Chains A and B, each alone.
Chain A
Amino acid sequence: MEDLKKQGVEVVHTQWQPPAEEDRKLLELLEELE
């Protein structure tokens, strides 16, 4: 991200976390819904 900013690029960073707290069943349900 710092390298992009040094090049004058507008950038935002998201603090990603594994979805559904890695519960496999919940994750599969989420993917089906999507």
Chain B
Amino acid sequence: MIVKVDVRKGTYRDSITLMKISNMVTGLKEVSQAAVVMATPLNKQFLIDLGFRTDEVERAGPNDLVIAIQAKSEKSIESATLEVEKLLSARITEEGEEIPLKTLDSALRLMPDTNLVMISIPGEFAKRQALMALRKGLNVFLFSSNVPIEAELELKKIAKEKHLLMMGPDCGTAIINGIILGFGNVVNEGPVGIVSASGTGLQQVSTIIHREGLGISQAIGTGGNDLSGKVGGIMMIEGIKLLEQDKSTKAIVLISKPPDRKTSERVLEVASRCPKKVVVNFLGSQFDAMAKGYVSAVTLEDAAKMACALIRGQKPEKTVFTDSRNRVISMANSESSQFSSAQKYIRGLFSGGSLCSEALLVLSPLIGDAFSNVPLKPKYTVKDLDKSKEHTCIDMGSEEFTVGRPHPMIDFTLRKRRIAQEARDAETAVILLDVVLGYGSHPDPVAELVPTIASAKTLAEQNARYLSFVASVVGTPDDPQNLTKQEEKLRKAGVIVMPSNAQAARMAALIVARGTMEEKLFGQ
């Protein structure tokens, strides 16, 4: 085998393009391994794990492109390298014309009616690009993370003055005038507007609203830091005002991970004055809110169903399980009866940050606090990101896992590796997963997961254990991946599939409690 490593300094390509190139080149004849990645610390470790430990890799920096190929002969290396060059420089339109667009100005000359710019570049350069777009009167969807908070504040103040949307930084999801931006699901158009500082939170709520027979007017993403003390909820407040004016919107759902207290108060003050029905899901916050003119929901599922109930003139109710008590208990007992005595822990591996946070919140009163990289309390921070401790829920979409790598909703490499690792741990009882469908996500996530799930279950069986898998699938039957088919494939693989992330977390708790939790859970 021959190895060749080539480092291109200061050559940037986005992680999705590079993942596609890596996959295509790995599939070439006589190529045993290929990786085309930006040299971030995580990717450098990945290269070393693949056997590409060289001085060039060690010296490469996060803005350098590494092309690493292992093949049978020099000739194969040469062909593979040519293929990489071709794919890196491909800028061909459907008509076959090459358009060398490198700047916003050149793009605007080609398409002067542009009204939105989507930006996905390293965070240290993102403010400059976003500022250019805002100054030209364009709305911005900024996917980039690692943008300084002061830069975010400046961008949002300018956007507010100019009555523009500044969605992000760290915004992965929006639905504007029926168009899905970034990650997002095919949902009905309808009377519910959403303003969300959480991408997968937006996806969970919008897909449940679709399932309930209603739909979405607009879903405005604000980026994950909008409700921080520094930014002060600027875009969430502007979003509420926009939806207040929007004739199609009859109810508004606000979603965020735990917000800064003062910012939360500012936003809720605006929500309370809104003449439309408002449902608030600030994960981890509880308010006595009915008297103040908005409804508080503890889970994303409750937020979605409460919005629908309010529009229909019904009383908003909480959901524990949608299935009957007997059926739920029967499923749980069927799983737990097969455990060995050592098996006792839940290992949650999430692609959605809000889904991970929600699972932690649901689990806490049932089984106690779980360790996490996004824990409810600082003392439950995992010391080693790669090693679970007791009950553990990991947000694998967080920055530590995604700098220079495609998001785990697109690339399942790290999550599959972690499933296999948890399966080797004799104390793992339940592996809890989210699967997120829609535009931007992997074309067949369950096909990626099923072989790993099967191997994990087999390994457990060979060691006189039983590994239980519980999952929820965020999506709709109209998504490219088709929710119904994905859920069916998971069930065939022996996974307990629940209708929401919150119900999946409760089911995991019920299973691991081995019959001791029924009153506690159904009494909620």
Contacts and interface: CB of A to CB of B under 8 A. Distances in A.
Contacts of A32: none
A4 B172 CA distance: 14
Given A4-B179, A7-B179, A12-B110, A18 B100 contact: no
A21 B99 CA distance: 22
Contact of B106 (A4, A14, A18, A21): A14
Nearest to B127: A31
Given A4-B179, A19-B125, A19-B128, A12 B10 contact: no
Interface string A15-34: 11111011000000001001
Contacts of B128: 19, 31, 34
Contact of B12 (A10, A13, A18, A34): A18
A4 to B, nearest CB: 7
Please classify how large the interface on chain B is, using the bins under 10, 10 to 19, 20 to 34, 35 or more: 20 to 34
Contacts of A16: 12, 102, 121, 129
B180 A3 contact: yes
A8 B215 CA distance: 20
Interface residues of A, number: 18
Contact of A14 (B102, B179, B439): B102
B270 interface: no
A21 B63 CA distance: 10
A2 B104 CA distance: 19
A14 B180 contact: no
A15 B91 CA distance: 8
Main secondary structure of the interface of B (DSSP, over half): loop
Contacts of A21: 10
Contacts of A13: 91, 101
Contact of B11 (A6, A17, A31, A34): A17
A18 B38 CA distance: 13
A12 to B, nearest CB: 5
Main secondary structure of the interface of A (DSSP, over half): loop
Contact of B63 (A10, A14, A22): A22
B103 interface: yes
B10 A14 contact: no
Contacts of A31: 128
Nearest to B125: A18
B122 interface: yes
Contact of B179 (A9, A15, A17, A19): A9
B121 A12 contact: no
B290 interface: no
A18 B103 CA distance: 11
A3 B11 CA distance: 25
B10 A18 contact: yes
B1 interface: no
A14 B101 contact: yes
B84 to A, nearest CB: 16
A18 B433 CA distance: 37
Contact of B440 (A3, A9, A12, A18): A3
A18 B100 CA distance: 16
B291 interface: no
A16 B10 CA distance: 11
A7 to B, nearest CB: 6
Contacts of B10: 17-18, 21-22
A13 B121 CA distance: 13
B395 to A, nearest CB: 24
A16 B180 CA distance: 23
B447 interface: no
B122 A18 contact: yes
A5 B104 CA distance: 19
A3 B439 contact: yes
Contacts of A4: 179, 181
A16 B129 CA distance: 10
B122 A15 contact: no
Nearest to B186: A7
18 contacts: A3-B440, A4-B181, A7-B180, A12-B99, A12-B107, A12-B110, A12-B111, A13-B91, A15-B91, A15-B100, A16-B12, A16-B121, A17-B12, A18-B10, A19-B128, A21-B10, A22-B10, A34-B128
Given A3-B440, A4-B179, 11 more contacts: A12-B99, A12-B107, A12-B110, A13-B101, A14-B104, A15-B100, A16-B12, A17-B11, A18-B10, A18-B12, A19-B128
Interface of A: 3-4, 6-7, 9-10, 12-19, 21-22, 31, 34
